[in-house]
């Protein structure tokens, strides 16, 4: 158990206690980076100690659920091993993963002023900090979003509500939060927020994966859009 007196300590304890005991739909498996990946807990600990070892209040940015090559490896949302080493100065020996969403997020972070400036103002996580995977016809596990199955969404809703409340308890400002994904993720989280009153305002931003896959030629436009939205929180 880590010291609970800093933001870093609270996140580290949250990661260690992360678990879901809900029955999931057939063929879908929960992915817990901290119990499945021997590197994730150590790299996440190093990251949060480096950037969150204080009691500053931050604003929350919510993704969807972790992917296999970002947080699934590093334990840090939207951070692959390349960005973790190049931008955060934390290396995982012998591993090299590349996730397009991480590339975009770190370009936003760079434009914001760099990792120290960004992480002192914002905390990124997901309504489900556990990932989900489903096997395809050839038996290969693929990332699966919580909202891609109504049955899965209903099965994990209580877990996600509990996780959002725990995120807030770490030291989150509740005037405004951000949702990465302006379609299904935002629609669902907006409804969830309306029912539970987590935040006064929830602002949608296009998901980094969508930007990098379908709108990469407009990437600078979306970086500017992110910066303008995040400035609203900084000056609130």
**Pairing verdict, β 201-205 and 59-62:** unpaired
Is residue 49 in some structural domain? yes
Residue pair 135/28 in contact (Cβ under 8 Å)? The answer is: no
**Pairing verdict, β 141-143 and 122-125:** unpaired
196 C-beta neighbours (distance < 10 Å), count: 11
Say how many domains are in the chain.
1
C-alpha dist (Å) from residue 206 to 63, 140, 226: 10, 28, 9
Give 85's contacts (C-beta < 8 A, 6+ positions apart): 91, 92
Read off the tokens for 47: 């990251």
In the three-class reduction of DSSP (H, G, I as helix; E, B as strand; rest coil), residue 23 is classed as: coil
Is residue 2 in some structural domain? no
Q: Please state the φ and ψ torsions of residue 72, each to the nearest 5 degrees.
A: -65, -25
Of 68-72, 115-119, 173-177, 202-206, the one with minimum mean pLDDT is 68-72
Any idea what DSSP says for residue 139?
Answer: S
Any idea what DSSP says for residue 52?
Answer: -
pTM of the model: 0.94
Band of residue 98 on the pLDDT scale cut at 50, 70, 90: confident
Higher pLDDT, residue 93 or 159: 159
Residue range 141-159: average pLDDT?
A: 93
N-term to C-term CA, the chain: 34
pLDDT 10s digits, 163-219: 999 999 999 999 999 999 999 999 999 999 999 999 999 999 999 999 999 999 999
Residue 98: domain span: 7-234
Laid out side by side, the sheet with 176-180 consists of 122-125, 59-62, 176-180, 201-205
In the three-class reduction of DSSP (H, G, I as helix; E, B as strand; rest coil), residue 180 is classed as: strand
171: domain CATH number? Answer: 3.40.470.10
pLDDT 10s digits, 10-47: 999 999 999 998 999 988 999 998 988 878 999 999 99
Is residue 152 in some structural domain? yes
Residue pair 218/162 in contact (Cβ under 8 Å)? The answer is: no
Strand partners, 193: none
Is residue 201 in some structural domain? yes
pLDDT for 68 beyond 80 = no
Laid out side by side, the sheet with 141-143 consists of 28-31, 131-135, 141-143
131 C-beta neighbours (distance < 10 Å), count: 24
Is residue 1 in some structural domain? no
Any idea what DSSP says for residue 147?
Answer: G
């Amino acid at each position: 158990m880590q010291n609970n007196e800093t933001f870093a300590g609270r996140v580290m304890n949250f990661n260690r206690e992360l678990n879901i005991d809900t029955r999931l739909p057939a063929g879908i498996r929960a992915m817990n980076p901290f119990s499945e990946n021997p590197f994730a807990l150590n790299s996440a600990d190093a990251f949060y100690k480096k950037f969150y070892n204080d009691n500053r209040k931050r604003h929350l940015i919510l993704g969807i659920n972790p992917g296999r090559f970002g947080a699934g490896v590093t334990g840090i949302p939207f951070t692959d091993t390349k960005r973790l080493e190049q931008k955060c100065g934390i290396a995982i020996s012998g591993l090299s993963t590349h996730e397009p969403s991480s590339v975009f997020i770190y370009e936003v972070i760079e434009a914001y002023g760099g990792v120290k400036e960004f992480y002192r103002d914002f905390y990124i996580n997901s309504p489900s900090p556990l990932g989900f995977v489903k096997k395809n016809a050839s038996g290969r596990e693929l990332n699966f979003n919580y909202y891609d199955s109504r049955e899965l969404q209903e099965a994990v809703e209580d877990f996600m509500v509990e996780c959002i409340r725990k995120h807030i308890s770490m030291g989150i400002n509740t005037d405004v939060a951000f949702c990465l994904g302006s379609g299904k993720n935002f629609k669902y989280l907006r409804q969830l927020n309306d029912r539970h009153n987590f935040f006064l305002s929830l602002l949608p931003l296009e998901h980094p994966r969508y930007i990098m896959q379908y709108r990469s030629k407009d990437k600078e436009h979306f970086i500017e859009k992110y910066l303008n939205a995040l400035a609203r929180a900084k000056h609130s």
